Structure 1
Amino acid sequence: MAHLQARKHVSPDSGFPYTLHPHFNPKITGHVPPEAVRQPIAVDKDRAACADVEEKALFAVARRVDLTESIGTLLENVQLSQLTSQQLDELALLVTERGVVFFRDQELTTEKQVELFQHYGILDRHPAQKDRKHVIIKGSTEDHRTILSYTPWPSEDSHPDTSFEINPPSYSMLRMKEHPEVSGDTAWVSQYGLYDALSDAMKNHLDGLHAVHTSRLQYDTIFDLYYLQQFLEYHIHSADDHQVRWK
């Protein structure tokens, strides 16, 4: 592949082949983020490590229903807002074990949700998040199957991938205020469960690998496409104004 023109534009410090647009806009490398680069912070001990491993206090007030073999548990007959500090610690442990825990018919305001979640540590803030405490996602009644027929990317209301953060969040707490009577469920997947289902040979192969989580490729591409679009729009408008023919 060394003969390809694109190989001349590989970033030398990316750690792996990373092809830049031949006319990579200098505004990208000169971009100044609105906030300072985040520095690592010292966080308190995970609350799950403080819990009773048998989770007796939590299961004394809640009925446990495991939804699949490797992920998902429903806790019935309990209100989150009434859990004690000990029970909240045991809930953290249960989430660690089961990946996701569901509650139905909760009497929980946004303010109480924030207060309750602060029990687990410092609230994380997504780089694109405006409110420092929470994000409100407004749903849509559009048929996304129709939208996908003429857009080259999936349509979504929220997608907070933050594994690249210097201190990635440990837990997320979602509360659905409005939902359809049927369906509307979120899909959950356990990578632990997927790993357990692999062959020993594939496990041995993966165990010797490591990954670097970065947002650089995503945001460089966004900036590149954004400025390229502005460049094309400018020249197209100029061509219309001066009636220049493209060859």
Structure 2
Amino acid sequence: MTLTHTGLTQEVLAYTAPHPPVKEFVPPKDRAFYADASKSSLLSAATSVKNLTPYIGTELTGIQLSQLTPAQKDELALLAAERGVVFFRNQDITMDQQYELTKHYGLQDRDPSQVDPRHVTVMGRDDDIRAFANYGADFHSDHSFEANPPAYTILRLIRTPETGGDTIWTSQTALYDKLSPHFQSLFDSLQAVHTSEHGYVNAINRGTQPYRGPVRRTHPLVRTHPVTQVKSLSYNPAFVIYLEGLKGAESLHVLNFLRDHLHAADDLTVRWKWEPGSVAFWDNRVVAHRAVPGGYNPEEREGKRTEIFGERPFFDPVNSVTLSDYRGKLAHVEDGATGETNVATTNGVKNGQVNGANGAKSSGDGVVSLNETNANVGP
């Protein structure tokens, strides 16, 4: 592809990435499909279950991730799909155990900057979030420019500063839910073009050698979660550059609206104060996140992140539901109105229906082994 980034240098133009882009593939079946809708195995093992906000974020205490049973692991995936992100403190899980836990959920994604194939090391940020092209400090969903963007992510903090270094997550299912029906209908029909060009250029200018060259992918602006069937915005200010089907000025105005919509959503966010041994488990398909930079020594913040490839993003106009509809169904089941316990029957979807083709569109280029990606944006 032709580079158009403002940070082009001779170093960037002279660099050739050693690997081609990642080719689209069909990942293993999402483990949340195997979960009991009540999540009783997981939740009953906790001494406390606390929803941190109405829309996003649940903290479980009294549970060690290193000791989860297969059923509890599956229910954790479903809980993350429903609540966006699940938090734990005082965890004893080791790097090897985190790696094994991640593999339970599928094929591991890999950041180009990581040396250890098991994880990427996430450090603090001291840059100004108001700086031009500071993509890492803005809201994003990891690697959305991939043919198969990540599904589940696990981040464990080893060292944390006394103050600062928090991470914020925003519910993109709730962001969609808060739109007017007219905007929902418009966004349902749009395709967003994602690019890794910014990260590629910035990485080379920092002295890093990315594993693969920049790519552009087209994904639906609204995506359907394969398990819950809930519709979510798939907007990523770090990587989305324009919207197909709109004129240039129209695309710019819509993207500006989406950015404002995301940044104004204080009621749809959760902010997590890290401690050593804290872990966050989230579903990249339904949230955007950002590290809050500045005000502390970045060397005092270190984490280990692992994540898996997800399905190709798709939009199913027939079977998708809004977050409000889904929450209503959950309340109906919890009130004992039905005896259904399987997540597939509760959500009104067929067990195993992962890649609904209706309305789906995702374009890509090139082939590479499944453990190579290109991004340099961290939580």
TM-score (normalizing by structure 2):
0.46
Q: Does 1:201 align with 2:185?
A: no
Do the aligned partners of 2:142 and 2:150 also contact (CA within 8 Å) in 1?
no
Give the SS at the match of 2:60: strand
Deviation at 1:70, TM superposition (A): 1.4
Change (3 A) 1:88 1:221: closer
Structure 2 residue identity aligned to 1:215: S
Match of 1:81 in 2: 66
Give the SS at the match of 2:87: strand
Change (3 A) 1:148 1:212: closer
Deviation at 1:108, TM superposition (A): 1.3
How many residues align? The count is: 204
Structure 2 residue identity aligned to 1:43: P
Do the aligned partners of 1:126 and 1:160 also contact (CA within 8 Å) in 2?
no
| Distance (whole Å) between structure 1 residues aligned to residue 84 and residue 114 of structure 2 | 24
Do the aligned partners of 1:41 and 1:167 also contact (CA within 8 Å) in 2?
yes
| Distance (whole Å) between structure 1 residues aligned to residue 135 and residue 40 of structure 2 | 42
Match of 2:86 in 1: 101
Do the aligned partners of 2:5 and 2:197 also contact (CA within 8 Å) in 1?
no
* Residue 147 of structure 2, aligned match among 166, 190, 194: 166
Change (3 A) 1:155 1:32: closer
Gaps of 5+ in 2: 208-379
The Cα offsets for residues 189-211 of structure 1, whole Å up to 9 and x where unpaired, read as: 11111111122222222122111
| Distance (whole Å) between structure 1 residues aligned to residue 21 and residue 165 of structure 2 | 37
| Distance (whole Å) between structure 1 residues aligned to residue 130 and residue 153 of structure 2 | 32
| Distance (whole Å) between structure 1 residues aligned to residue 118 and residue 80 of structure 2 | 21
Superposition pairs for residues 110-149 of structure 1, below 5 Å?
110-139=95-124, 144=126, 148=128
Do the aligned partners of 2:32 and 2:75 also contact (CA within 8 Å) in 1?
yes
Larger radius of gyration: 1
Match of 1:56 in 2: 40
Match of 2:229 in 1: none
Deviates more, 1:59-68 or 1:84-93: 59-68
Higher strand proportion (structure 1 or 2): 2
Deviates more, 1:97-106 or 1:204-213: 204-213
| Distance (whole Å) between structure 2 residues aligned to residue 148 and residue 207 of structure 1 | 34
TM-score (normalizing by structure 1):
0.69
Q: Does 1:71 align with 2:26?
A: no
Higher helix proportion (structure 1 or 2): 1
Give the SS at the match of 1:137: strand
Change (3 A) 1:182 1:175: same
Choose between structure 1 and 2 for higher RCO, CA contacts under 8 A separated by at least 6 residues: 2
Do the aligned partners of 2:39 and 2:75 also contact (CA within 8 Å) in 1?
yes
Gaps of 5+ in 1: 1-12, 227-247
